[in-house]
Amino acid sequence: MASNLLILTLIFFISSLSSTATTNPSSLSSSHVSHALKKTGHKMINELNLHPNREVNILKSNADSLDDELKVSESGLAEKRLSLSVLGDSGATVADLAQHAGYFRLQHTIDARMFYFFFESRKAKADPVVIWLTGGPGCGSELALFYENGPFKLTNNLSLIWNDYGWDKVSNIIFVDQPTGTGFSYSSSDQDIRHDEHGVSNDLYNFLQAFFKAHPDYIDNDFYITGESYAGHYIPAFAARVNRGNKNKEGIHINLKGFGIGNGLTHPGIQYQAYTDYALANNLISKSDYNQINQRLPACEQAIEQCGATGSDMCQPAYSFCQQIFEDILSLTDNVNYYDIRKKCDGSLCYDFSNLENFLSKSSVKKALGVPSSLDYVSCSDLVFRSMLNDWMRNLEVEIPALLEDKIQLLVYAGEYDLICNWLGNSRWVHAMSWSDQKDFISALNVSFIVDGKEAGILKNHGPLTFIKVHNAGHMVPMDQPRAALKMLELWTTGKLLQPNKGVGAGAGAPV
């Protein structure tokens, strides 16, 4: 699965593997899969109408000159107050909004710098601090910032207007470009490219330590981790890293209250099995197609099991075998948009985010952001995408039960028309997860998620765990249903998300 997009991510995704399925996962060579994955990365990026000038931001020749343009504080941050021109009224009650962009030189790397945005809440500085992670793997956070839940929207004439449903209306929000090489983040060494969640989560944890050191006014605020698509891998690992750091008293205590995954890839072993069921239920394939494609499941399941048990040797074959299930479904559709099955891709393009690259390539914009003038914006990094291949088929659900036992809130939400990280697969892994209150969660009623007097989705909750199937949305819920997404965040972070008196037809115990 590759989506990032997928964030846009979310944005995350997809592989057009030309390999023929065999009965033996180990028969696939690493070089064969790597070649197919390179084609996959290009395909995913092009279908978003993105064409980054670089494959990744590894700049060995001029890293020193870039450093000369950055002014690093004692915290390790090189931060600049934003001076972007935005049309319209923000609607803020805060007299002087704090809005920054900057860099953090990552500890325990050779030469990596992480780029980020920080936007103070338009309502109250005491609101929760939320961090957003875009997926891909390898897509910049600006995809979400300018098209989903950031303070601004980007118009066709490359102007900024205020987003009436930006998540900064109810939170102080951080957007980061990660892993290294993504967006405006960069290094002078390709050894700083990440390959697994250990490296990703440590980088994010170290960034947070520097951020709160530089912004001590927010240390006591509630803290939430959010994101979408391949961030379904990042988020559990990051939440576990923060929780572990707090328990070990490694640095500044981070007031972690919850983590939220939107249309994520978290448990591939369960989610890949759901592809054919979702496709059949939505008339994307026939029953005979369903039966034929499902013959691939045993090889996929075996390879995933071996990937988890033996390390990385079987992870690329697992990707190849399981991804072919998705490819088989796509080959039987009439150019369906796999991020939103209500839509067709326009030619080879599922979305047009080209304005993003045009805007961020402007010298005036880079100057306003404090980005070195010679640095290119890498909207989605093909190299980062490929480098995370051995991480792809790993199960990150295993990090979650311990967090739930510590009463840290988990929100999993999914737009009902997304195929790539569909609601059915997400619902199944959430229900299958073993934790102390699993039985009570399974038997809980499905209720209506009400926004402005109308049902915006179906919700199930017990204790710290909540799942929502969001109506009339695809992979990018904050883009498709911005009002509902904002209300969801507001209710979740204030402990008011559950609406217990609106039982719906599915009844107790039935998956959402």
Determine the Cα–Cα distance for residues 337 and 290; give it in Å rounded to an integer. 19
Retrieve residue 271's tokens: 């989610």
Tokens of 418: 């997304």
What's the confidence (pLDDT) of residue 21? 38
- Secondary structure, 3-state, 191-235: HHCCCCHHHHHHHHHHHHHHHHHHCHHHCCCCEEEEEECCHHHHH
The catalytic residue among 15, 171, 188, 229 is 229
Lowest mean pLDDT among 90-99, 206-215, 294-303, 426-435: 90-99
Give the model's pLDDT for residue 1: 43
List beta partners, residue 451: 454
Respond yes or no: is residue 198 known to be catalytic.
Answer: no
pLDDT at 383 over 80: yes
Take residue 481 and report the two structure tokens written for it.
């249903």
For residue 499, pLDDT over 70 is answered with no
Q: Is the pLDDT of residue 61 over 90?
A: no
CB 125 within 8 A of CB 94: yes
Q: Which helix (H) or strand (E) holds 87?
A: strand 86-87
Q: Which pLDDT value is given to residue 24?
A: 54
Q: Where are the domains of the chain?
A: 3-493
Q: Which of 222, 418, 427, 431 is catalytic?
A: 418
Amino acid at 9: T
Q: Span 431-449, mean pLDDT?
A: 97
**HEC readout, 243-288:** HHHHHCCCCCCCCEEEEEEECCCCCHHHHCCHHHHHHHHCCCCCHH
pLDDT tens digits, one per residue of 320-372 = 899 999 999 999 998 899 999 999 887 667 888 889 999 999 999 999 999 98
**Candidates 3.80.30.20, 3.10.20.30, 3.30.70.370, 3.40.50.1820; CATH matching 3-493:** 3.40.50.1820
Give percent of the chain with pLDDT exceeding 90: 71
Mean pLDDT over 166-195 rounds to 95
Contact present, 469 and 414 (Cβ < 8 Å): yes
Whole-model pTM over 0.95: no
- Model confidence over 411-425: pLDDT tens digits? 999 999 999 999 999
229 assigned to active site: yes
- Looking at residue 59, its pLDDT comes to 79
Q: 96 catalytic, yes or no?
A: no
Does residue 66 have a pLDDT over 80? no
pLDDT band at 68 (very low <50, low <70, confident <90, very high): low
197 class by beta-carbon count within 10 Å (0-12 exposed, 13-18 middle, 19+ buried): buried
Segment 285-292 mean pLDDT: 98
Mean pLDDT in residue range 383-408: 95
Q: Which amino acid is at 55?
A: E
The average pLDDT across 374-382 equals 89
User: Both tokens of residue 96?
Assistant: 């002087």
Q: Of 199, 207, 203, 205, which Cα lies nearest the Cα of 250?
A: 205
